[in-house]
Structure 1
Amino acid sequence: MRQIRFKTLKTVALLGGLLSAATFAGLAMAAGVEDFPDRNIQYIIPFGPGGESDISARLQQKYFQEITGQQLIIQYMAGGGGAVGWSQLNEMDGDGYTIMGTNLPHIILKPMGKDPGFKTADLKNFYYFHYSPDALIVRNDSPFETLDDLIAAAKEAPGSVTVSGSGTQSANDIANRRFESLADVTTTYIPFKGTGAAVTALLGGQVQAEWGYTTTAANHDDKVRVLAVAAEHRHPLFPDTPTFKELGYDMTGGAYRGMAVPKDTPDDVTQKLSGLFQQINQNPEFRKKMQDLGFVLIDVPYVQLNDFMAERRAEYEQVAREMGIID
């Protein structure tokens, strides 16, 4: 009997120790989330510098540091219209200290075609914070004074009008294809590694026009002219620029931007990140800066992203069929 009792007490002690360890680990994890982040966070932009993703990240830096005391360290991983970065995200540490910019429609359209190295469902998006309407932009010295001027040139010599944009199967690519279909023209679309490179090509005279955004035009308003904006209403920064709808082309659209973490990042950490960037997005000073640059702010936190992504997918599937990406 004594031997049995000794073994029983030993087992109880062992179980008690394990439970205590588990409780301690749970408390440590909770404390860790409460204190998160306690060091700088690496913020990877899967495009080159100078584009909308980079501009918004640079604006977020100040407010992130004010809230957390830590810095956002911005790095670039350009290539494949974002695919190079997104295909490597889940190989990175899922501890919350690495985040990456994600873009729509890019992350939905690209996997619908050939394998880009990632699947939409594998990207753990945690917050979407703004939208920028498509805009067809030319240099100030361009012979295209109006959208009709560009259309006339494209019809006179199909393929002669060169247009830059950010990657293939991107918002810019979609905008160009939709425009060609609606206006019954053929242009030559040249994809670049991000909006920054695309606008540099325009300003440098490598192309005659660019599919950019209202943000692009706002950032270079002394050098470019906007022919039309793909929005329901005229943008307040460009009150004299018509929408495509006003000109007879049923065309609205643009790019959504957000952030993701490696898929093995714990949900509580992911939720904490979502809340931090949501707090930044609600800062009046930050909102004013973003709006002055041409961004349209949205607020889609982690808990709402499944529904948000499902809605976007339904929209883009129709576009993908029109583009011949899927049957």
Structure 2
Amino acid sequence: MRISSLFTSVVLAAGLFTAAASAQDYPTKPVNYIIPFNAGGESDVAARLQQPVWEKLTGQPMVIQYVTGAGGAQAWSQLNGMEGDGYTIMGTNLPHIILQPMAQDVGYKTDDIANVYFFQYTPDAIIVPKDSQFKTLKDLVDYAKANPGLVTFSGSGTNSANDVAQTKFDKLAGVTTTYIPFSGTSPATAAVLGSQVLAGFSYTTAAISQGDAVRVLAVAADERVPSFPDVPTFKELGYDMVGGAYRGVAVPKSTPEDVRKAVSDRLDAVNKDPDFIKKMEDGGFVVINVPYADVPKFMAEREKDYQATAKLMGIAQK
């Protein structure tokens, strides 16, 4: 019995040592980075900017893969069935992983997602065609007040960051506008360019890609976005709106704590790389640093905010 117990103790100790060593040396092989959306979207663009910096700093490949469908829910509902060794990580989005389970059964709950790091957000922005009658946000608000419901906003999907932004804006501005969801940012932007709608709730990244074809009336950031130095923030104009689509990285729930932290630490190093920061800002992204230890507080703040907005959106709280 003593020999057996001693053998068991040695095996357990060896296992713990191996786990600790693997976390300390992480990564020692390629990492699979799953994006829950199609190639070419903001989540993919951000991951593609992370990829070379990760490989430079860690010396290991980052392999980007796609599991698409149901606005990201297809991938998130599968996450916890994957191996929790730190070598499978997945992109996550807010408000998606909060509002989706709140609105309906999507195969996962918000608490099922083990986020380890949040690294950026794409600020919401109101865009109009370059020849629009609205030269400023005040022009649009004045028109909306005089014509309730006639200002139409395109946006990327239902219960998305754009949907949330339009709901919050209506409340803050004291107006009633009409939100028209599209299947993604590209068709929503096309609706603005084709004058199918009067304006669009979009993102700074999408506005950059359109160049002079659109006018940006305001951005939902704490400070002016470097790519749009002449465009005021909502806060400058008297509306307390900061946010957009927040993006982070999660791991399967079976992933040990030390490995979760190791993944977070490597992503944090990527996020602090000067070249990475410049490319992100040039692309219209706002870089944020929310490491693993700060994720619970960050998520609690976001959940409180989205739950309040969900009531205005008519989403039943589950």
Q: TM-score, normalised by structure 2?
A: 0.87
The residue number in structure 1 matching 2:92 is: 102
Bigger mean CA offset, 150-159 vs 39-48: 150-159
Bigger mean CA offset, 157-166 vs 68-77: 157-166
The residue number in structure 2 matching 1:187 is: 178
Aligned-residue offset at 1:62: 0.5
The alignment status of 1:220 with 2:173, answered yes or no, reads no
- Give distance in 2, aligned partners of 1:143 and 1:76: 40
User: Per-residue displacement from partner, 1:214-268 (whole Å, max 9, x unpaired)?
Assistant: 2322343343321222234433332322333454544333222111111111222
The residue identity in structure 2 corresponding to 1:96 is G
**C-alpha spacing 1:30/1:244, structure 2 compared with 1 (3 Å):** closer
- Give distance in 2, aligned partners of 1:233 and 1:27: 46
- Give distance in 2, aligned partners of 1:33 and 1:156: 60
- Identical-pair percentage: 53
SS in 1 for 2:104: coil
Aligned-residue offset at 1:121: 0.7
The residue identity in structure 1 corresponding to 2:84 is G
CA contact (8 A) 1:164 1:191 kept: yes
- Give distance in 2, aligned partners of 1:305 and 1:317: 18
Q: Indicate which of 278, 299, 307 corresponds to 1:288.
A: 278
The residue number in structure 1 matching 2:78 is: 88
The residue identity in structure 1 corresponding to 2:85 is D
- Give distance in 1, aligned partners of 2:82 and 2:57: 25
The residue identity in structure 1 corresponding to 2:265 is G
Alignment coverage as a number of residue pairs: 316
The residue identity in structure 1 corresponding to 2:178 is T
SS in 2 for 1:220: helix
CA contact (8 A) 1:165 1:189 kept: yes
Two-structure CA RMSD over aligned residues (Å) = 2.7
- Residue ranges of structure 1 left out of the alignment (5+ in a row): 1-10
**C-alpha spacing 1:59/1:263, structure 2 compared with 1 (3 Å):** same
CA contact (8 A) 1:155 1:186 kept: no
Tell which structure's C-alpha radius of gyration is larger: 1
**C-alpha spacing 1:164/1:122, structure 2 compared with 1 (3 Å):** same
Q: TM-score, normalised by structure 1?
A: 0.85
Aligned-residue offset at 1:126: 0.2
Bigger mean CA offset, 315-324 vs 152-161: 152-161
**C-alpha spacing 1:24/1:215, structure 2 compared with 1 (3 Å):** same
- Give distance in 2, aligned partners of 1:120 and 1:241: 35
- Give distance in 2, aligned partners of 1:202 and 1:263: 41
- Give distance in 1, aligned partners of 2:67 and 2:198: 27
- Give distance in 2, aligned partners of 1:105 and 1:55: 19
The residue number in structure 2 matching 1:20 is: 10
SS in 1 for 2:315: coil
The residue number in structure 2 matching 1:7 is: none
**C-alpha spacing 1:206/1:98, structure 2 compared with 1 (3 Å):** farther
The alignment status of 1:124 with 2:114, answered yes or no, reads yes
- Give distance in 2, aligned partners of 1:36 and 1:204: 49
Bigger mean CA offset, 55-64 vs 223-232: 223-232
The residue number in structure 2 matching 1:235 is: 225
